[in-house]
Amino acid sequence: MTAVINQDLTVLSQGLTVPTGFGDVSLIAATPGAIRLLGGIPAPEALPVGDIGRASAELWQDHAAAVASLQYSQSHGFVALRNWIAAREGVDPRRIVITNGGMHGLSLAVLTVVERGATVAVDDPVFPLFLRALELSTTATLPVPVIADGFDVEHLAGRLAAGERIAAAYTVPDFHNPTQVTLSAPKRRALIELAERHGFYVIVDNPYRELRFAGEDQGHAVFNDSDRSIHVNTFTKTLGPGWRLGWLVLPEHLVDAVIRLRNRVDGHSPTVTQTIVERLVTGDEQWFDRVLTAARDLYRERAGILIDALHEQLPGAFETQAPEGGLFLWPRLADDAVDPAALYQRAAANGVVYQQGEFFAASPQRDSARHLRFAYGDRTPEDLREAVRRLALAF
């Protein structure tokens, strides 16, 4: 008898690559005691633990509600939670679908609009985990430079004019990961117009949008008003990754397709977690904004401390730009003679670890490898200063 399984790439999981660089947890294991500037992780101090405990206690003491929270619920997600989100997004609640966090929103988007083997335009540098989610449908990418005001829409327009065809374009518009820049309002409009003209979808990955602590909001209505945008959002950076709760703002014509897909992937997001988060955000209309205000203050302070420490302890070593929000700093090595890989090895040996810029490169052309990505959100002021001191020793 011969085996009937044909272990080729037609089995989806067989084509998936093993993570290297970004997301390689052995980096952490290899550096015990190091100060980690690794992940876009919210500060423990910014998470409303006390309020969560109170909402949770109220739930479990209300027997009928507790029992309901342990049962099945609809794929679309909780109605009152979707209504609350929809009001903030300025869309019809039907267009909101609750997800298991931002990564899940990305994978649902990929499976919904990217045909197998299609080309997808992506940020360069890019959030590496998006490329992994994209592997569910394709590995063909068209890297688009991320410049000072974000995703280079003109570059993409030129490629499309030259005959390139894409199923979707992926970008992080607010406090881009890793480059920390924000897509300007005119370029948001230009990107959406390009998508509408060419019939591709824009996968708008927006986990940091609520964490603006400086500068001007460039607006999200342009995404939510278009039937060519899939706006991927999450509670991860505000209420915590551990909830695994997020949402999609979908064009009306994609809602049923996403629900059908969701029915087949895992049914629905947990009723328990949706119940608690719904109670938190809808119980007091000001509550979520209070959480955000406190978080923004905290991240503004931490970003400032990190930049100041770099300027004080390593003057001239980096070209830096003050973040306007989010959780990342993306300094560029000013001296081309510095070998970033060797620098990382010395930094790790001195007890500070970060993400190396090369991990984010979507193409060999860009100079991502000349950058370092520092995640400052979950580090205390003391840790941030000590991290820079250790980095300075590595220079």
Applying the rule CB under 8 A, the residues between 229 and 268 that interact with a second copy are 239-245, 256-258, 260-261, 263-268
Instruction: Determine contact, residues 359/374, Cβ cutoff 8 Å.
Output: no
Cβ distance to a second copy smaller for residue 168 or 305: 168
Distance CA 37, CA 377 (A): 8
Note whether 41 binds a second copy by CB under 8 A.
yes
Closest CB 312 distance from a second copy, rounded Å: 30
Range list of H helices, 135-236: 153-161, 185-198, 221-224
Q: Is the dihedral of CA 13, 132, 344, 241 positive or negative?
A: negative
Distance CA 180, CA 89 (A): 23
Q: Which of residues 287-316 bind a second copy (CB under 8 A)?
A: none
Exactly one of 24, 28, 53, 215 binds a second copy (CB under 8 A); which one?
A: 53
Note whether 148 binds a second copy by CB under 8 A.
no
Note whether 140 binds a second copy by CB under 8 A.
no
Cβ distance to a second copy smaller for residue 280 or 317: 280
Structure-block tokens of residue 98: 């609750």
Note whether 57 binds a second copy by CB under 8 A.
yes
Q: Which of residues 181-210 bind a second copy (CB under 8 A)?
A: 197-201
Note whether 286 binds a second copy by CB under 8 A.
no
- Say which residues have a Cβ less than 8 Å from residue 171's Cβ, sequence separation at least 6: 122, 123, 144, 146, 150, 151, 183, 191, 202, 203, 204, 205
Cβ distance to a second copy smaller for residue 288 or 318: 288
Q: Which of residues 62-101 bind a second copy (CB under 8 A)?
A: 63, 66-74, 99-101
Cα 339–chain centre separation: 28
Exactly one of 31, 36, 52, 185 binds a second copy (CB under 8 A); which one?
A: 52
Closest CB 249 distance from a second copy, rounded Å: 17
Distance CA 150, CA 374 (A): 19
Instruction: Determine contact, residues 104/205, Cβ cutoff 8 Å.
Output: no
Tell me which residue of 213, 209, 182 sits closest to 293, measured CA to CA.
213
Amino acid at 187: K
Cβ distance to a second copy smaller for residue 25 or 341: 25
Closest CB 366 distance from a second copy, rounded Å: 24
Number of residues that bind a second copy (CB under 8 A): 90
Note whether 39 binds a second copy by CB under 8 A.
yes
Distance CA 150, CA 144 (A): 10
Count Cβ atoms below 10 Å from residue 31 Cβ, excluding itself. 17
Closest CB 350 distance from a second copy, rounded Å: 26
Amino acid at 33: G
Residues in contact with a second copy, shown as a per-residue x/- string from 109 to 128 under the rule CB under 8 A: --xxxxxxx-----------
Residues in contact with a second copy, shown as a per-residue x/- string from 369 to 388 under the rule CB under 8 A: --------------------
